[in-house]
Amino acid sequence: MKRSVFVSLVILAGVLSACSSRQASYTPYILHSHFYLNPVYSGDSIVAAQDTLDSVAVSPSDGYYHLKPIHLGDTVVFVAGFGSVANDLIAARMNVDTLSLLQSARIGDDFRAILLPESDEKHIQLLFKPGYSFAALRVGYRPIKVGEHTIELVVESDSKFSPQSQIFKQPVIE
């Protein structure tokens, strides 16, 4: 009996040690800071904002984050973080209806160094070089039409649980 338990434990240890952390598959994740309305900058830092548009919560009825309403022409800025724990990031993007919202990203030279040349910075469609498991950047949008608009953040990694997304609903009034 003792011998079969010992043999079972040795086999189990061999199976568990056969996978390296690079072969592990973790669900990629998205983090975001406060959503700042009409921020005021001092250099590169936000020093004041008219308001923060923090979502009340994820709506159980549709699974989206619902933000406070903003006015036509307001500017909203936040930091988006994209991570993949032990897996490599492949892509991150911010999807919006470009006829309703103008989007922007503040991408510095240090951040640009981890991107592949095929990335579309203007439309926030970013492709990462291998070897990176986290990236964060300041993104923003400004509505050019009244209505409820959708902002989708998506992250892709080499995990089998990829991609992952978060969807925000932004009402815009006049």
**CATH code, domain with 56:** 2.60.40.10
* Residue 97 lies inside a defined structural domain of this protein: yes
Q: How confident is the model at residue 42 (pLDDT cuts 50, 70, 90)?
A: confident
* Residue 8 lies inside a defined structural domain of this protein: no
Domain range for 78: 24-173
* Residue 84 lies inside a defined structural domain of this protein: yes
Q: Helix/strand/coil (H, E, C) string of 91-147?
A: EEEEEECCCCEEEEEECCHHHHCCECCCCECCCCEEEECCCCCEEEEEEEEEECCCE
91-128 CB burial, b ≥16 within 10 A, e <16: bbbbbbeeebbebbbebeeebeeebeeebeeeebebbb
**In the chain, how many domains are there?**
1
Q: Could you tell me the two tokens for 163?
A: 């991609």
* Residue 53 lies inside a defined structural domain of this protein: yes
pLDDT (0 to 100) of residue 18? 46
How many CA atoms within 13 Å lie on the side-chain side of 89? 24
* Residue 46 lies inside a defined structural domain of this protein: yes
Q: Indicate whether this model's pTM tops 0.85.
A: no
Q: What is the mean pLDDT of residues 96-125?
A: 89
The closest alpha carbon to 167, from 91, 93, 71, belongs to: 93
Q: How confident is the model at residue 154 (pLDDT cuts 50, 70, 90)?
A: very high
Q: How confident is the model at residue 163 (pLDDT cuts 50, 70, 90)?
A: very high
The closest alpha carbon to 151, from 113, 115, 116, 100, belongs to: 100
Mind listing the pLDDT tens digit for each residue in 127-152? 999 999 999 999 999 999 999 999 99
* Residue 61 lies inside a defined structural domain of this protein: yes
User: Is residue 86 predicted with pLDDT exceeding 80?
Assistant: yes
pLDDT (0 to 100) of residue 81? 94
User: Is residue 9 predicted with pLDDT exceeding 50?
Assistant: no
DSSP 8-state class, residue 67: P
* Residue 95 lies inside a defined structural domain of this protein: yes
Q: Could you tell me the two tokens for 80?
A: 């988006």
User: Is residue 5 predicted with pLDDT exceeding 60?
Assistant: no
* Residue 4 lies inside a defined structural domain of this protein: no
